[in-house]
Amino acid sequence: MSEKRTGAQILCEALIQNGVNVMFGIPGGAIMPFYFAMWEYRDQLRHVLCRHEQGAGHAAEGYARSTGQVGVCIGTSGPGTTNLVTPIADAWMDSTAMLAITGQVSSAVLGKDAFQETDITGITMPITKHNYLIKNVDEIAYAIKEALHIASTGRPGPVLVDITKDALQATTVPDYSKKIFMPGYRPTVQGSKKQVRNAMEMMLGSKKPLLMIGNGVIMANATAEVRAFAERYKLPVVTTLHGLGGFPEDHELCIGMPGMHGWVHVNRAIQEADFLLNIGGRFDDRVTGKASTFAPNASIVHVDIDPSEIGKNIAVDVPIVGDAKVVLLSLLEEEPEERKVAEFHGHAGEWLGKIRELQQKHQHKQQYLNRPDTSMLLPHDVYAAMTKMINERGNYRVVTDVGQHQMWAAQLLDWYQPRTHITSGGAGTMGFAVPAAMGVAVANPQDTVWAVCGDGGFQMTNQEMATVMQEGIKNIKVAIINNGYLGMVRQWQELFENKRYSGTPLSGPNFQKLAEAYGWKGITVESVDQVEAAIAEAYATDGPVLIDFRVEREVNVFPMVPQNKSIGEMITE
């Protein structure tokens, strides 16, 4: 223990000791000492060499979101770190546990505009949960421990540790035993019992209750508790974009997704509800529409581990700060009078019936049937085949990018399991899917990982296909919903800007040939009857596969709430 180590060796050992075993990154001048040391630890610390730091960052996000562990990415100083800014911002918006380790120029030239110097701690201050600039080798071991702790606890988020080259090169006798001491960081895990009781009382007094679940439920691994609670009180369950998979969609109580591209019956139910219990969602504007008009008749209970989310967008009647799982266990411990519960069941049942009636009227029309009479390949055909085939085979994850294909995937695929639906929600980062899916595939070699993208987002980060080949990652399949447009923007232009398609028509390469150039299997699908065969072939191929689904170009995502309108005002066709 008394042996001297370089800062870089200490960095490796601290990562290993704190549970890290995979990192995604790219070397460069300032971070070279870390790569030198990493070689010694390569059996315990796998490094995935990416093609762009943005890819490394999203891969770390995919790793984190699919496992609940911290995803680690690495960049060198200057452009290496600024390329990480987008995934860091993405992780910040979607509360993803991420550790970004960045090299910095030597402390002697720090602040002097040295080669490849950027103030990355300054740049990332507003988009990290915390960040560090380490100039002293003695601080490395503890900083890594603290950083991983901050990233993974409370409301998870990205933490950046910037280490100067001389600190990585200097030697010291490491001390890994220093206990975490952060008097200013104490996430509240246990919700107030009094508020839990108030929430229960409020709920049992209601006649049109809704339970809304968000990302917090999935991150807290609380899906079993949510289910038990919903079933105990027969609560209709709304799943937000990030809550998808947190409650099985074939469950009799699941009514679906709310918001801008949510279902009509769900948004109508929210507007009519007299009680809304939101667990682990943050009332994003894509969920609420115009916030002042959201759920006008409902008493609202908001459970969130981050106190600043409560009352930020929507005024609440009962705030509960705590971990979703712990609060749900407290809610389940409550034992209201059976007579009251029976009466409540009656109301809730009647209410659910009413919602289902609305659903009959609206959803099916939207789902698969509202298909023009055409032989053309529609996005809906792809999703219909996909949801059937991936569920038949099981063990899957779906990572979506941002845009029309993302909303269709949320709407048209059926979600049953937590951490199977991974997408860029808050930041809406195009280019997320391919690298994130790579991270998911590395973390979950037993699963088939589908990256569903548009042709726009795919072209932003598709160079990671080379990383997939180099690393021998076989369990990844990419489905491009290729409509030759930046489709969501085009949709808005069609609906609100009189079809002025400014900057949205998009050409691409021959994606099948591109895939083949990378050593992947490439498949082109141009008609409905080829869809299932292509997906089957992707499954039958022992290696990465790309399917280019050339779909009808001008299909819209409906239903839709125009921006800044009430969710009660939906465009349905």
Burial class (CB in 10 A: 0-12, 13-18, 19+), 357: exposed
Residue type, 538: A
Based on the shown chain and the rule CB under 8 A, indicate whether residue 288 belongs to the binding site for other proteins. Answer: no
445 binds other proteins (CB under 8 A): no
Residue 184 within binding range of other proteins, rule CB under 8 A:
yes
Contact status: 329 vs other proteins (CB under 8 A): no
- Token pair in block for residue 296: 């006008």
CB of 216 to other proteins, least distance (A): 8
Element (H or E) spanning 545, and its range?
strand 545-550
Q: Which of residues 185 and 492 has its CB atom nearest to other proteins in the complex?
A: 185
69 or 240, CB closer to other proteins?
69
Nearer to other proteins by C-beta: 215 or 240?
Answer: 215
**Sole binder of other proteins in the list 156, 258, 454, 544 (CB under 8 A):** 156
Please, which residues bridge with residue 482 across strands?
A: 550
> For residue 319, what is the enclosing H or E element?
strand 318-321
DSSP three-state, residue 277: strand
CA 161, CA 152: separation in Å to the nearest integer? 15
| Under 8 Å between Cβ of 305 and 281 | no
Q: Does 317 bind other proteins (CB under 8 A)?
A: no
CB 69 within 8 A of CB 41: no
Q: Does 91 bind other proteins (CB under 8 A)?
A: no
Span near other proteins by CB under 8 A; candidates 28-36, 176-184, 370-378, 541-549? 176-184
- The answer to whether 404 touches 487, Cβ cutoff 8 Å, is yes
Question: Segment contacting other proteins (CB under 8 A): 126-134, 191-199, 469-477, 556-564?
Answer: 126-134
Q: In 188-227, where do the E strands start and end?
A: 209-213
C-alpha distances (whole Å) from 375 to each of 238, 266, 301, 497 are 35, 31, 48, 29
Measured from the CB of residue 14, what is the shortest distance to other proteins in angstroms?
A: 12
End-to-end CA distance of the chain: 69
Cβ proximity to other proteins: between 19 and 445 the closer is: 19
411 binds other proteins (CB under 8 A): no
d(CA 200, CA 196): 6
Closest CA to 92 of 121, 113, 61, 55: 61
The answer to whether residues 352 and 212 touch, using CB atoms and an 8 Å cutoff, is no
Q: Which residues are catalytic?
A: 53, 115-116, 165, 488
Among 155, 234, 268, 397, binds other proteins (CB under 8 A): 155
Per DSSP, 519 falls in state T
Q: Please choose, out of 232-240, 319-327, 365-373, 471-479, the segment that lies near other proteins by the rule CB under 8 A.
A: 319-327
The binder of other proteins chosen from 79, 122, 296, 445 (CB under 8 A): 122
Q: Is 492 in the site for other proteins (CB under 8 A)?
A: no
> Residue 25 in contact with residue 75, Cβ under 8 Å?
yes
- What span, in angstroms and rounded, lies between the C-alpha atoms of 425 and 309? 16
Name the residue with tokens 């990480």: 84
Contacting residue, 186, 335, 338, 373, with other proteins by CB under 8 A: 186
Segment lying near other proteins (by CB under 8 A), choices 37-45, 182-190, 504-512, 556-564: 182-190
Residues 30/165, Cβ–Cβ less than 8 Å = yes
The answer to whether the CB of 57 falls within 8 A of the CB of 73 is yes
Residue 176 is a binding residue for other proteins (CB under 8 A): no
**Which of the stretches 43-51, 322-330, 353-361, 449-457 binds other proteins when contact is defined by CB under 8 A?**
322-330
| 311 contributes a contact to other proteins by CB under 8 A | yes
State in angstroms the smallest separation of the CB of 378 from other proteins: 38
Q: Token match 């141009």: residue?
A: 526
Q: Binding to other proteins by residue 302, rule CB under 8 A? A: no
Q: Does 305 bind other proteins (CB under 8 A)?
A: yes
Among 23, 37, 70, 199, binds other proteins (CB under 8 A): 70
Q: Which residue of 29, 32, 49, 68 would you call a contact of other proteins, by CB under 8 A?
A: 68
Tokens read off for 464:
């990671």
Interface region with other proteins, contact rule CB under 8 A, candidates 252-260, 299-307, 394-402, 501-509: 299-307
Helix (H), strand (E) at residue 278: strand 275-279
Which one of residues 149, 197, 354, 388 is an interface residue with other proteins (CB under 8 A)?
149
DSSP codes of every residue in 11-46 = HHHHHHHTT--EEEE---TTTHHHHHHHGGGTTTSE
Q: Residue 289: beta bridge partners?
A: 566
Q: Does residue 444 touch other proteins according to CB under 8 A? A: no
Out of 49, 116, 293, 307, the only residue in the binding site for other proteins (CB under 8 A) is 307
Indicate whether 46 belongs to the interface with other proteins (CB under 8 A).
no
Amino acid identity of 33? P
List the one residue from 101, 170, 254, 326 that touches other proteins (CB under 8 A): 326
The reply to whether 179 sits near other proteins by the rule CB under 8 A is yes
Binding residues for other proteins (CB under 8 A): 18-20, 64, 68-70, 97, 121-122, 125-126, 129-130, 133, 148-150, 152-156, 179-187, 189, 219-220, 305-308, 311-312, 323, 325-326
